[in-house]
Amino acid sequence: MAVGTKDLAPEQLRGLDDTKLADELKKAKEELFNLRFQSATGQLDNHGRLRAVKKDIARIYTEMRERELGIGSAPAAPKAPEKAEKVEKKAAKADKKADKAEKADKAEKKAKKADKAQEADA
């Protein structure tokens, strides 16, 4: 059986996004600092907890490194709505450009008709 916190199993770490992973790392480091301080002052009750927290920190660093190398990836669910919004914005911009192009074509046709009418009058 692996030593460590049940909340920080590798499967659960993979489910966290990068900011939450960094928060977990910060919490674990703070806990390790406090445990070391307790150990130095002789107040530490559970010496096994030091080992468990060190292993948790190592798991977090491993997950972060895997993501950095492209081996593992952060959860993709939150990214999908952002992409959908970007696609909608691009479509709206394309529609606006098409409307402007149509207006420009109409203006050009009116100008041509006016020129032809002036040539006919002359």
**Contact present, 62 and 47 (Cβ < 8 Å):** no
47's tokens: 């010496």
Does pLDDT of 2 surpass 60? Answer: no
Model confidence pLDDT, tens digit, residues 67-110: 999 987 777 655 555 677 777 888 888 888 878 888 888 888 88
List phi, psi (to 5°) of 73: -140, 155
Q: Which residues, at least 6 apart from 35, have a Cβ–Cβ distance to it below 8 Å?
A: 44, 49, 50, 53
Does pLDDT of 41 surpass 60? Answer: yes
Mean pLDDT confidence for 53-63: 95
Which three-class secondary structure state does DSSP give residue 74? coil
